[in-house]
Amino acid sequence: MLTNNLTAPLILIVEDDDQHAELIQRSFAADPEEYRLERVCTLASAKQAITRLTPGLILTDYRLPDGEGSELVTVSAGQWPVIIMTSQGNEELAVAVMKCGAQNYLVKSPESFAVLSHVIARDMKSWALIQERKRAEEAVRQGKREWERTFDALPDLIAIMDTEWTISRSNKAMAARCGLSVEEMIGRKCYELVHGLDAPPACCPGFELLESGAMHSIDIEEKGLGGSFDVTVSPLTNEDGRITSFVHIMRDITERKAAQEEKLALERQFQQAQKMESLGVLAGGIAHDFNNILAVILGNCSLVKQRPEMAVELVPEIEIAAERATDLCRQMLVYRGKTQFIPVPVKMTDLVGEMCKLLRPTIPHQVEILQNLENDLPSIHGDASQLRQIVMNLMINAAEALGENHGEISVALTRVELGRGRGEVDYLSKAISAGDYLCLKIADNGCGMDDVTSKRLFEPFYTTKFTGRGLGMPAVLGIITTHKGALQFSSQPGQGSSFLIYLPLHSPDFVGVAPMEVTAAKQEGGTILLVEDERQLREIAKALIEELGYTVIVAANGKEALELYQAGAREITLVVTDIDMPVMNGYELCKALKKINNALPIILSSGFGDQYDTTQITAETISGFLSKPYSFEQLGKALKGARVTDEGKDM
């Protein structure tokens, strides 16, 4: 039916014969579908109509007064379908019309006019399908062009190759890096172009891909291509899921690796600078304290020279100053976390409770101490005096952070189990080993610390206190390290500080030499081989040992001592040797002597604190240990203790 509905398809009829135009109109009028018709009589008027209308189809006579209707096929340029009608059709004309791009060719007759609307409807549907297919094909072509542009625009070196490493496709970056055109890459072997080899190298990720069927990546350095690359291969499969080829992508990471190496170098330089700064602070602090101590010693020595009669009064002052120096050295070793102790079971609940009670009178009354100490906690193995120092230092610091203000110090002790999945880290962000721990938490709501203070908290001799020496927190850290524990802490200015100390319940055995309850009285004699590379120490130790009633043979190093022992082994009953010596150290000497006489008692001595290297020597091998500096009484106890131990072994 004919309509003015603008949504109905518009048919442009180009027909100069009025009778034929009337028959065409009747055909559409009789059709149940809605159509709009626009009739023109000439080619020129048809061209003009096309400029102002958007026809759904053009139905034109072949022969028009001013030209051939087939010209409208060209004019439409594929925008609308064109059907050609003729009164005298022949096969040659039909072929020519269809070749020029007409949608259909009709011969005018009563029968064709009767079914014309149906033919038009069918051709319009066919045209729509053709256009849809063309659009799809164009979309595919466009997608292919975009993919190819993208493929070639990527800076990564990309190639597609079969399971024999034969390249079937390459992007421009890959070809350029290999010094070839994209076309020249086709059919070449990847390993020939990339590595200059006759077969894939063993490191090629293609092997892993073919074995596992999954994507695989490696980093390689390829001198032939002039750089380092992240190589990734991804499988391509057929309909059956079988790998037929793979995508080989090489990403140049040369600059990234260089940047990473530069960053690491800068970090190492920064760390070294920090170490040197800390070393400077440490050296300055030690020099300050030791200069004060040496001033006392040298001053009293000068007075003794000037006034010998004052020796009885001044020598004890010299001894006190020397003991202060000894304490300072030991505190520095605690800071290193290398002190040694005799491990004993320690009930931390009792220890912490006692320290809270002991410190209560020293803490301002307006500060409340809140205790939450779990009962029935297992004991840990450690040194009670050192563990008390942790509690004391942290609680005193907390009280000083509160000052004259009202506040709280909370002290808690619990048992915790750290598993692998928990991800706990210490104050340096190092992972804390999984296991059972006692967790001591000491926190306050005092002034807190800023970032600068927090970062320098454990530096020796760094202090924010007017009278402080800056060794308290380094000592705390050293004690925790000695006990194989871990430390966490957090602090915010104005919000207080919190310290968590993890002490292992099942800690490794600590090696120590048990103290002997013996006196330094003159003893029954014997010959002692004294090995010490420092001349003054050797002479002083020789004199002290002789004062105890022993005969002394001296050696300046382990080699000399071994030769002396081999020459007079029967008369030597005990060996006292330094550890750190030239030519042959104390460990080497001890091993050599034990091969000659396994029962020979040996005492080790060191200026590095109360410790020795248990990987070099065992506690059962030696009969005692002397930490320098030692007093006459300590020397006597060690010598007698070694003889008592040796006699016990012989029994």
**Which among 444, 473, 504 is the end of a domain?**
504
Looking at the structure, do residues 19 and 113 belong to the same domain, yes or no? yes
Looking at the structure, do residues 315 and 367 belong to the same domain, yes or no? no
264 part of a folded domain: no
Looking at the structure, do residues 76 and 14 belong to the same domain, yes or no? yes
Reduced to 3 states (helix: H, G, I; strand: E, B; else coil), residue 37 is strand
Q: How far apart are CA 425 and CA 446, in angstroms?
A: 25
Assign 650 a pLDDT band (cuts: 50, 70, 90).
very low
Q: For tokens 């306050």, name the residue.
A: 444
The H or E element spanning position 547 is helix 535-547
Looking at the structure, do residues 234 and 359 belong to the same domain, yes or no? no
CATH code at 623? 3.40.50.2300
Assign 508 a pLDDT band (cuts: 50, 70, 90).
very low
Q: How far apart are CA 621 and CA 594, in angstroms?
A: 8
413-443, pLDDT tens digit by residue?
A: 999 988 765 568 888 878 888 889 999 999 9
Assign 611 a pLDDT band (cuts: 50, 70, 90).
low
**Could you give the percent of the chain with pLDDT greater than 90?**
26
Looking at the structure, do residues 373 and 467 belong to the same domain, yes or no? yes
119-130, pLDDT tens digit by residue?
A: 999 989 998 898
91-116, pLDDT tens digit by residue?
A: 788 888 888 888 888 888 888 888 89
CATH code at 193? 3.30.450.20
Looking at the structure, do residues 588 and 440 belong to the same domain, yes or no? no
Q: How far apart are CA 479 and CA 502, in angstroms?
A: 12
| Cα 34 versus chain centre, distance | 73
Cα torsion at 148, 152, 156, 162 (round to 10°)?
50
- Contact between 55 and 28 (Cβ < 8 Å): no
Assign 158 a pLDDT band (cuts: 50, 70, 90).
very high
444 to 359, 365, 452, 508: CA distances (angstroms): 15, 15, 19, 32
Residue of higher predicted confidence among 341 and 75: 75
Domain hosting residue 321, numbered range: 270-336
Looking at the structure, do residues 158 and 245 belong to the same domain, yes or no? yes
**What stretches of 419-478 adopt beta strand conformation (E)?**
435-444
Q: How far apart are CA 363 and CA 402, in angstroms?
A: 10
Mean pLDDT over all residues of the chain?
83
Residue of higher predicted confidence among 62 and 337: 62
Mean pLDDT, residues 614-633 taken together: 79
- What's the confidence (pLDDT) of residue 442? 93
Looking at the structure, do residues 348 and 496 belong to the same domain, yes or no? yes
| Helix orientation angle between 632-650 and 535-547, rounded to the nearest 10 degrees | 70
Tell me, letter by letter, the H, E, C secondary structure of 483-546.
CCCEEEEEEECCCEEEEEEEEECCCCCCCCCCCCCCCCCCCCCCEEEEECCCHHHHHHHHHHHH
- Contact between 427 and 395 (Cβ < 8 Å): no
- What's the confidence (pLDDT) of residue 521? 44
Looking at the structure, do residues 197 and 278 belong to the same domain, yes or no? no
pLDDT at 542 over 60: yes
Mean pLDDT, residues 51-71 taken together: 90
Looking at the structure, do residues 304 and 442 belong to the same domain, yes or no? no
Assign 37 a pLDDT band (cuts: 50, 70, 90).
very high
**Which among 455, 470, 504 is the end of a domain?**
504
- Residue 237 pairs in a beta bridge with 243
Report field, pTM of the whole predicted structure over 0.75: no
263 part of a folded domain: no
| 521 CB-contact burial (10 Å; exposed 0-12 / middle 13-18 / buried 19+) | exposed
The number of distinct structural domains making up the chain is 5
Assign 464 a pLDDT band (cuts: 50, 70, 90).
low
CATH code at 366? 3.30.565.10
Assign 517 a pLDDT band (cuts: 50, 70, 90).
very low
40 part of a folded domain: yes
φ/ψ of residue 221, rounded to 5: -115, 120
174-194, pLDDT tens digit by residue?
A: 999 899 999 999 999 999 988
- What's the confidence (pLDDT) of residue 648? 44
**Which among 76, 99, 132 is the end of a domain?**
132
pLDDT at 277 over 50: yes
Written as one string, the DSSP assignment of 119-166 is: HHHHHHHHHHHHHHHHHHHHHHHHHHHHHHHHHHH-SSEEEEEETT-B
Type of residue found at 561: A
Looking at the structure, do residues 126 and 52 belong to the same domain, yes or no? yes
Looking at the structure, do residues 110 and 47 belong to the same domain, yes or no? yes
